[in-house]
Amino acid sequence: MSVVLELTTHTPDETRAVGRALGERAVAGDIFLLTGGLGSGKTTLAQGIAWGLGVLEHARSPTFVVVAQYQGRLPMYHIDLYRIEAVEEALDLGLEEYLFGQGIAVVEWAERAARAFPAEHLLVYLEYLDEASRRLRLEPHGSHYMALVQAVAPDVKEYTT
């Protein structure tokens, strides 16, 4: 049975804290698929993941470059598929290099190329609630990601809904 973690954050810093908890536990090959509308907090969560990996710079949405790479204790490939209209376009980007490399992949707008990703991943739905609050649903696919969500849950329990 899958362990799903649902929580509500009330500030961008709380959303980053959830990401930081994920980044601190991330291992090479991890794939985090982020979905949600504009302004739902995908890039804010990605920033937290980067900080959890020890990335010193401020991760920004790579919408115009599609992929940005950051170096922490592992490389983080921050992929933004907002401008992708078909899964074939995503595949033409050479996604497999990022998904199966030595780093972790954080993919915004992952729903635009859902078929391009392996069956095992962490899917994170983000929903805009108000100016500062977001609802997050961490849905693990595979035993590794179930263990990851279980490990993160105590650190973010104050946000659990």
- 109: domain CATH number is 3.40.50.300
37 falls within a domain: yes
As a whole number of angstroms, the distance between CA 68 and CA 76 comes to 8
Q: What is the mean pLDDT of residues 31-41?
A: 95
Number of Cβ atoms within 10 Å of the Cβ of 91: 14
* Domain span at 109: 27-114
Amino acid of residue 88: E
32 falls within a domain: yes
**118 has pLDDT over 50:** yes
78 falls within a domain: yes
Number of Cβ atoms within 10 Å of the Cβ of 146: 18
Stated pTM of the model: 0.92
**3 has pLDDT over 70:** yes
- The total domain count for the chain is 1
Per-residue pLDDT, 67: 85
Three-class SS state of 86: coil
Query: In which band, very low, low, confident or very high, does the pLDDT at 86 lie, cut at 50, 70 and 90?
Result: confident
In this structure, what token pair is assigned to residue 117? 């990703």
Range list of β-strands (E), the chain: 5-9, 31-35, 67-71, 75-80, 104-108, 121-128, 134-141
The larger pLDDT score, comparing residue 145 to residue 100, is at 145
**58 has pLDDT over 60:** yes
As a whole number of angstroms, the distance between CA 70 and CA 99 comes to 15
**147 has pLDDT over 80:** yes
Percent of the chain with pLDDT over 90: 66
Per-residue pLDDT, 85: 77
11 falls within a domain: no
- 1 Cβ neighbours under 8 A, 6+ residues apart: none
34 falls within a domain: yes
Per-residue pLDDT, 100: 83
As a whole number of angstroms, the distance between CA 118 and CA 27 comes to 16
Per-residue pLDDT, 71: 94
